[in-house]
Structure 1
Amino acid sequence: MSSLITVLIASVAAIIAAILLFVVASQYNKVLTNYAFPQGDIGQAMADLADVRSATRGAIGYSDQSQIDQMVEIHDQAVEDLQAALPEIKKSIVAKAGEKDYNNIVATLDNYLEVDAKILKMGATTDAEQSKKAQDAAFDELAPAYATASEAFQGLMDDNISLGDKTHSSLQKMELIMLLLIIVIIVAACILATKIGGKIAKDIAQPMDDLARRLETFAQGDLTSPFPEYHNDDELGEMVQSVTDTTTKLSVIFADMENLLGQMSNGNFNIQTSCEEEYTGDFRPLLDSIREMKIQIDGTLKEVREASEMVSAGALNLAEASQALAEGATDQAASAQQMQATIDEITNGLNNTVDQTNDAYAEAERVAGEAESSRNEMSVMVEAMNRISETSEKIGSVITEIEDIASQTNLLSLNASIEAARAGEAGKGFAVVADQIRTLAEQSAKSAVNTRELIEESIREIEVGNKAAERTEKVLVEVVEAIHQLADNSKGISETSVQQAESMGQADAGVTRIADIIQSNSATAEETSATSEELSAQATSMDEIVARFSLTEE
């Protein structure tokens, strides 16, 4: 607005100057048209009047007719030129004095031409006497008429000069006034422009200073303080409005980011932005990064939850298998104790057989029955040991699954650690959970390996026991056969009984080893059961940790 006022003042000054220049130019044009240029027409008319006079003198002064005719012709042409000049002179007359002078010129010129025509008619001849009369008349009448006409023309010229001088004087005064007026306008315009410029500078400088101070606080993170008010519709107003709009947009974006990150820090990942349309330009990658981080953490927690469910299920299966192994080991221990007692009885019987050779036949029949029973018991023991071997193989399969689960859990915990590292500060808590899961997986794998080794050792010992049982069964078969032969050959009873005693001693040692292995299997089964319970407890704890987070629904 101030700039418009300044331009308006300059425009008014320029218009006034142009008007004054136009007036001066018009006055100068008037002077030239009405006073300067007519002087030439008047001078030309006076020259034509002089030509008329000269031609008249020549016509009345020459004696040669051809010369007289030539002068008459010149005279007539001069008269026509003189009469043609009068209308041009009349056109330039604008003042009353000029009209009076013009009327005087017309009157004196008519008188002169009338006298001139009379004298020319009289003297334009070869008659010397008529020429002499004409010359005398020209001197007496034409000369005064010529002087009067010339004076009339000169009066008009003098009046034009006087009017031109007056107009020139007024123009000089007008030029001085115009110069002074232009100077006054320029000075006034400069003063007004200075005041307006000062006001403009103040109106711009103060808001600019306020805006600069507010931008300093804005650069320091202050988004809530108001910006200085500026209501003018100019560039500064547009800048203040743009900065205000930018601050409002940043406040909305920062508030939304604070809400999103706060919700995620509290474990809620089932969230969405409330002002997605504000994330434009370079703000869009920021929203995409937060959204990708949420998706990655949410997916990792879901994988951890699934892994904990798998670990929990595996731990339950391991506990059930360990319980079955413990029960089988208990049955095996009972069978081994029973078999050991039977072998002890056979050994005692063989020793009595050696001492009681005389009662060999009767004792042989009794021992044959007991041997037959021992063989049946041995068969039962072999079957029980086979069942133990099958159960151990099943336990090995379960342990293999546990190892696979532990390996998968370890891999998942490694992936979780990597994702937690990517998440930075927000993933530290989850990194601790991932480390606990990895530690639990390593412990599960180690326990599974130890259990596998114990079960494999048990299987090997069971195989040894099976072989010993098979040998024992063969020995018992031989004992039965020897007892049947005792009736026919009582001499070999003593030697056979000794051999049987030695075989029973070996069988007893084998059964003792089997019992020790069964005890070891039982202890291992109990340890495996305890480990599976601990693994189940860790899986439950992991489920509780993951349950703290609110994940998105698939």
Structure 2
Amino acid sequence: MSGADIRQLKQQLRLQNPVRSVGMKLLLIFFASIVSLVLIIGILSYQISKSIIKNKVADASQQTITQATDKVDFLLESMENITIQIMSDDAVADNMSKYKDKTLTQFDKLQTGQLVSSRLKSYVLANSKIGDINILPLNAEVTDTYRTTTPKDDVYKSDWFTKIKEADGKAVWLPTKKAGYVSTPNSFAVGRVLRNIKSSSVEGILIMELKTNALREALGVVSIGQGSSIAIIGKDNNVVYSETSEELETPYIVDVAANIAKTGIDSDNFEAVKDKEEILTVYDPIQKSDWLLVGTIPVGELVKDASTIFTLTIIMVLVAIVLAILVGLLVIRMIAHPLVSLRNLMMEGARGNLTVRVKDNGRQDEIGQLSASFNEMMEQITSLVSQTNLSAQEVLNTASELSDASRKTSISAKEIAVATEEIASGASSLAVEAERGSDLTGTINVKVGHVVEANAMMETAAAEVQTASRKGADYMSELITKTGTTEEMIRSMADKVEKLQESTSSIRKILDMLDNITKQTNILSLNATIEAARAGAAGKGFMVVADEIRKLADQSRQSIDVVAQITAKIQTEMKETVGVLSEAYPIFQEQITSVKNADDIFKQVQAQMDGFAGKLQEVTGSVEQLQESQHVLSEAMTNVSAVAEQSSATSQEVASLSSEQLSISDGLVKLSEKLEQLSNSLKESLSKFSI
């Protein structure tokens, strides 16, 4: 196997690779484009829906939390107002001042204290939210100040007690404690330094403990969604209020302070992750305290409805996969299969099979036009090759006829040469006999019988010379006729070769036109590639189609180059044939001239031989008068001798011309054989094509 065959086999194997095929590329492009587009749109829709739902829920939850915060603020403000009422209560102020009177007996102090306690109890009984109200001295060593109860010593060491003292009369809200602050468990409290409005003296610390139910009642039924929770937390992130009492005084599930620091104080919500679960947290500060009302809801619960979009996206992706496969298969059937079929037909045409045609499928698109153009091209090439075959066959037949005629001419020339040699031999004999007759004229009387015998021999020789002369003239006439026929055949063959050259020139023009078409196809493919590149992702499929059209144009150009090479070879061989015929034609002209000259000489010889025969008859008639006409006979013998010498010279000239004609005939035979070889070579070149 040659290197060209191996390269062609490798190229075919590369073309047969399904991944490199146009159909598979289009299928992958459609598959990736449609699936990617649907998947991206689905994911974006899911994410956008999720974000919108979270934002909407966050806004709605923020409004709910803000309204609940207002309620809590109202509760706290109302409780602060009660502490102010207590501070402004004249009965409380008078009795507390009276309690400090040192002149009072112990019993009076007891009654005074009971009056203060009763007044505080009335506030407790008047409001169900209040758990208890107590007045504590500023420290454990103070004994002249009224106290409603005796607190534990650690109360004075607690942070909250110190905080109330430092507030110097401002209300301080204390978070919920399970153990309570003074007497009420599971309570939160508000405390402030109690000043006597009449004496402006500090009477102690007022602690009003509130039931956690007060916060529950203030909040009411607050919900920001399924699975949500509402809580109030302090600055230390511990729970002040929760629907679940077990969470009180425990750290909140989300570190609100840390997330606020990340998102910024201007933000009113954030997302946090707890136990690998995203939690949306909204908050609002309570104005009357440093607490935050916080609401949390799992993001999964929020976007539970949005998961339908994700499920729908998965379904649409599966549908898109099926659709992409179906569209890809349709494209393969409509584009790839016709292209593959056309490629195979072009490869068959490149191998020399010109009978391949694309079946008419009625398509009016570019592929249908390409198929029609391919069929038209193959028809034209087939017609050209057929015409070339016919012309080559005619040239071969003409070459065979010319070769036969040349051989016959050569044989005739050989026969003419033999006859000419015989004539020359006869002329030489005639000259010898004339010389002998001239010698014998002196002794004619003695050898009359010899003269009669010699005369008879001369008559016989003259008859033979005359016969040979006629035969030579006939041969020369036949040679002139055959030479004229040969000239007409050479001229006809030259005309046919010129017509064949014109046909090959037409083929060359058609090939140039096809080459221009392939160049224009490449330019159109390049323009299509540029426009596809401008179109971006939408033009990628058209870019692959344009690239495949460019490859087909390149393959067409290669096939055209092969046909052009063969046509060029035919033109070269035709030019060589024309050259050979051009060289042979002057030789045939010279041969015709020589043959005509030889014919004239033979006619002269025949005329002279006819005259010689007449003279011999006169000699025979005058034998009896030989003695009386010896002088006349001597002169006649002299004339005979001259004529014999002239005949001998003419015969030698004819022999020379015959030899030259034989040489020309041999050259003509060789030229005919060369023309036949060229015709066979042309036929072998054209036999590569199947039509």
Q: Who is 2:571 aligned against?
A: 435
How far has the Cα of 1:232 moved from its partner?
Answer: 6.0
User: How far has the Cα of 1:259 moved from its partner?
Assistant: 1.0
CA distance, structure 2, for counterparts of residue 231 and residue 394 of structure 1: 90
Q: Which residue of 1 aligns with 2:349?
A: 264
Aligned to 2:589: 453
Work out which of the two has the higher radius of gyration on C-alpha atoms and give 1 or 2. 1
Q: What is residue 403 of structure 1 aligned with on the other side? A: 491
Root-mean-square deviation over aligned CA pairs: 4.0
> Secondary structure of the residue that 2:386 maps to in structure 1?
helix
Partner residue in 2 for 1:498: 638
Mapped pair 1:373 → 2:454: no
TM-superposed deviation, 1:442 = 0.7
Distance change >3 Å, CA 395–CA 231, structure 1 → 2: farther
Task: Check whether the contact 1:414–1:438 (CA below 8 A) recurs between aligned residues.
Answer: no
Rounded to whole Å, the distance in 1 between the matches of 2:380 and 2:463 is: 66
Does the CA-based 8 Å contact 1:447-1:528 persist in structure 2? Answer: no
| Contact residue 300 and residue 419 of structure 1 kept, 8 A | yes
Greater shift, 405-414 or 293-302, is seen at 405-414
Q: How does 1:165-184 map to 2 (within 5 A)?
A: none
Instruction: State how far apart, in whole Å, the 2-side matches of 1:547 and 1:427 are.
Output: 13
Distance 1:257 1:230, change over 3 A: farther
Alignment correspondent of 1:54: none
Alignment of 1:69-88 (within 5 A): none
Deviations 1:142-196 (A, max 9, x none): xxxxxxxxxxxxxxxxxxxxxxxxxxxxxxxxxxxxxxxxxxxxxxxxx99xx99
Map of 2:367 onto structure 1 = 283
User: When the two structures are superposed, what TM-score results if normalisation uses the length of structure 2?
Assistant: 0.44
Q: Does residue 1:295 correspond to 2:379, yes or no?
A: yes
- Aligned residue type for 1:256: S
Structure 1: tracts of 5 or more residues without a match: 10-190, 204-228
Q: 1:393 to 1:448 in 2, by over 3 A?
A: farther
In the alignment, which of 643, 652, 668 is matched to residue 512 of structure 1? 652
Q: Distance in 2 between matches of 1:368 and 1:356?
A: 12
Matched residues, number: 342
Matched ranges for 1:5-404 at <5 A = 245-246=330-331, 249-273=334-358, 276-277=360-361, 279-360=363-444, 362=448, 363-380=450-467, 381-404=469-492
Tell me the TM-score normalised to structure 1 length: 0.54
* SS of equivalent to 1:358: helix
Q: Any runs of at least 4 consecutive aligned residues in structure 1 with deviations exceeding 4 A, and if so which?
A: 229-233, 236-248
Cα distance in 2 between the residues matched to 1:251 and 1:453: 65
1:280 is paired with a residue whose SS is coil
Q: Is residue 2:510 matched to residue 1:422?
A: yes
3-state SS of paired residue (1:408): helix
Give the Å deviation of 1:448.
Answer: 4.5
Quote the offset at 1:237 in angstroms. 11
Structure 1 residue 491: deviation in Å?
A: 0.9
1:545 maps to amino acid: S
Distance 1:281 1:403 in 2: 52
Deviates more, 1:477-486 or 1:381-390: 477-486
Question: 1:279 Cα deviation (Å)?
Answer: 4.5
1:523 aligns with 2:658: no
Residue 489 of structure 1 and its aligned partner are, at CA, apart by 0.7
Q: Deviations over 1:327-361 (max 9, x none)?
A: 22222112111111111122122222223223346
Amino acid at match of 2:659: Q
Contact 2:410 2:662 in 1 (8 A): yes
Where 2:355 maps in the other structure, the secondary structure is coil
Separation in 1 of the partners of 2:428 and 2:486?
38
Distance 1:345 1:539, change over 3 A: same
Q: Whose strand fraction is larger, Structure 1's or Structure 2's?
A: 2
Q: Distance in 2 between matches of 1:374 and 1:289?
A: 81
Show structure 2 runs of 5+ residues with no match: 1-40, 53-301, 512-559
Matched, 1:468 2:597: no
Contact 2:490–2:585 (Cα < 8 Å) also in 1: no
